[in-house]
C-alpha cells in the first residue's frame, strides 16, 4: 500500500534551543537560507506524499505563513523582474496539500501523533519529526515507505549512534533482514548501560499502521511524564514486530544547539552560492584554533 499521508509534529516547546525558540518555532530555524521544516516538507513531497498534517501549538503560526502564498512579495518580485526568486517563492506554497492542527497541551510526541487520528483515517502514515532534518539523494521517508510496502509492518528509521549517545536515545533489539533493513522485536527508551540492546536508535522518521492510535491510547505517560511515541512503538515491535530501516542520508538534530551549527556548516559548504566562500573562511579560521 502506497503511503500518501504524513504527519509532522512541530508543537514542542523547544526548551533546548532557548532563547532562539522563545517566539520563533525551532522548526523555522534556518539552515543557510531555508527553514528546517521546509527541508522536511520537501523530503515528504519528493517521496510521493500528497497530504501533510503539521501539528502546531500556540505561537507557531509562522509555519502556516511560510507555506502560504505571499501576494505582496510575489507582486514585488514580479514588478522587479526577479523571475527566479518569484518561482522559488511560489513553489513553497505548492509543495504539498498541507493542513494544520493545534496540540493544545504539549503532552509529548505520542500525544501529538494521537492528534492526527482523524486526518489519517485508518491508513498507514508517515511521521517526520519536525526538528530532524535529513539530507540525502534518496529521501529518507521514501526509503521507509518502500520498506512498508515490502514488509507490511510498521517501519522506523534507525541509525547506529555512539555508546554515549545511546543512553539519551532509544535502543533497538534487531536482527538483520535484507540490505539496510532489520527486524525490530523490542526497544527501550533511554537505556541504562546494562540494558542497551544495540547501538541502533530511532532517529526522526517512521511509517506506522493506524493501529498505533489504539496502542497510544493504552500507553501510560513515560519519560518526563510525556506520552512517548517510542513506548507505543515498543508495544507494536513486541506484538507484531517492526522493521528498522538504516536509511541513507545525513540527519541533523535541529532541536539542539550543536546540531544547528553542524547543519549550517555542512549544508553551507555544499551551497552553490556561499559554499566556496564558506570553505575559504573555514580554512583560514581553523588555522587560528
Residues at the contact surface with ligand UTP, assessed by CB under 6 A = 9-16, 27, 55, 103, 106-109, 111-112, 129-131, 255
Is-contact 269 261, C-beta < 8 A? no
Nearest CA-CA partner of 172 in 156, 150, 151 = 156
Q: Which is nearer to ligand UTP, 10 or 155 (CB)?
A: 10
CA 41 to chain centre: 9
8 Å CB contact between 156 and 208: no
Rounded distance between C-alpha atoms, residue 147 and residue 141, angstroms: 10
CA 33 from chain centre, in angstroms, equals: 18
Nearest CA to 39 among 252, 199, 232? Answer: 252
Q: Supply the minimum distance, in Å, between the C-beta of residue 185 and ligand UTP.
A: 25
Q: What residues have CB less than 8 Å from 46, skipping those under 6 apart? A: 139, 142
CB of 128 to ligand UTP, least distance (A): 9
24 vs 177 by CB, closer to ligand UTP: 24
Contact indicator for 56, 102 with CB cutoff of 8 Å = yes
| Residue (92 or 106) nearer to ligand UTP, CB | 106
The full DSSP string for 111-125 is HHHHTTHHHHTTS-E
Handedness of CA 120, 126, 130, 135 (dihedral sign): negative
In the complex, what is the shortest distance from the CB of residue 216 to ligand UTP, in angstroms, rounded to a whole number? 13
Q: How far is the CB of 236 from ligand UTP (least distance, A)?
A: 18
Looking at beta carbons only, is 9 or 209 nearer to ligand UTP? 9
Question: In angstroms, what is the minimal distance from the CB of 220 to ligand UTP?
Answer: 16
Which residue is listed with cell 532489520?
A: 182
Give residue number: closest CB to ligand UTP: 12
Residue 184 CB, shortest distance to ligand UTP, in Å, is: 20
CB of 11 to ligand UTP, least distance (A): 3
Q: Hey, what's the cell of 134? A: 535529513
Nearer to ligand UTP, 10 or 181 (CB): 10
> What is the C-alpha separation between 93 and 70, in angstroms, rounded?
9
Query: Which of residues 103 and 201 has its CB atom nearest to ligand UTP in the complex?
Result: 103
Q: Cβ neighbours of residue 83 under 8 Å, at least 6 residues apart? A: none
Smallest distance from the beta carbon of 63 to ligand UTP, in angstroms? Answer: 10
Answer yes or no: are the C-beta atoms of 63 and 103 closer than 8 Å.
no
Nearer to ligand UTP, 86 or 109 (CB): 109
Nearest Cα to 267, choosing from 40, 100, 87, 33?
Answer: 33
133 vs 181, beta carbon nearer ligand UTP: 133
Amino acid at each position: 500500500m502506497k503511503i500518501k499521508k504524513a504527519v509532522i509534529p512541530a508543537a514542542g516547546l523547544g526548551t533546548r534551543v532557548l532563547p532562539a525558540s522563545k517566539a520563533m518555532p525551532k522548526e523555522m530555524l534556518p539552515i543557510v537560507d531555508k527553514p528546517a521544516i521546509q527541508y522536511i516538507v520537501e523530503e515528504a513531497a519528493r517521496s510521493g506524499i500528497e497530504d501533510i498534517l503539521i501539528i502546531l501549538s500556540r505561537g507557531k503560526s509562522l509555519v502556516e505563513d511560510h507555506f502560504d502564498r505571499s501576494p505582496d512579495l510575489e507582486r514585488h518580485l514580479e514588478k522587479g523582474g526577479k523571475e527566479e526568486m518569484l518561482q522559488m517563492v511560489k513553489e513553497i506554497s505548492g509543495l504539498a496539500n498541507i493542513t494544520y492542527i493545534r496540540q493544545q497541551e504539549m503532552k509529548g510526541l505520542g500525544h501529538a501523533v494521537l492528534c492526527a487520528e482523524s486526518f489519517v483515517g485508518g491508513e498507514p502514515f508517515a511521521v517526520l519529526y519536525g526538528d530532524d532534518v535529513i539530507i540525502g539523494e534518496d529521501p529518507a521517508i521514501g526509503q521507509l515507505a518502500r520498506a512498508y510496502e515490502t514488509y507490511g509492518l510498521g517501519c522506523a528509521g534507525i541509525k547506529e549512534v555512539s555508546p554515549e549517545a545511546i543512553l539519551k536515545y532509544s535502543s533497538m533489539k534487531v536482527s538483520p533482514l535484507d540490505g539496510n533493513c532489520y527486524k525490530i522485536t523490542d526497544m527501550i527508551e533511554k537505556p541504562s548501560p546494562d540494558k542497551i540492546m544495540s547501538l541502533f536508535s530511532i532517529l526522526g522518521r517512521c511509517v506506522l499502521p493506524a493501529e498505533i492510535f489504539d496502542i497510544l491510547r493504552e500507553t501510560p505517560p513515560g519519560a518526563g511524564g510525556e506520552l512517548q511515541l517510542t513506548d507505543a512503538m515498543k508495544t507494536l515491535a513486541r506484538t507484531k514486530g517492526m522493521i528498522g530501516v538504516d536509511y541513507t542520508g545525513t540527519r541533523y538534530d535541529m532541536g539542539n544547539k550543536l546540531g544547528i551549527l553542524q547543519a549550517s556548516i555542512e549544508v553551507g559548504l555544499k551551497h552553490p552560492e556561499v559554499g566556496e566562500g564558506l570553505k575559504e573562511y573555514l580554512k583560514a579560521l581553523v588555522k587560528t584554533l
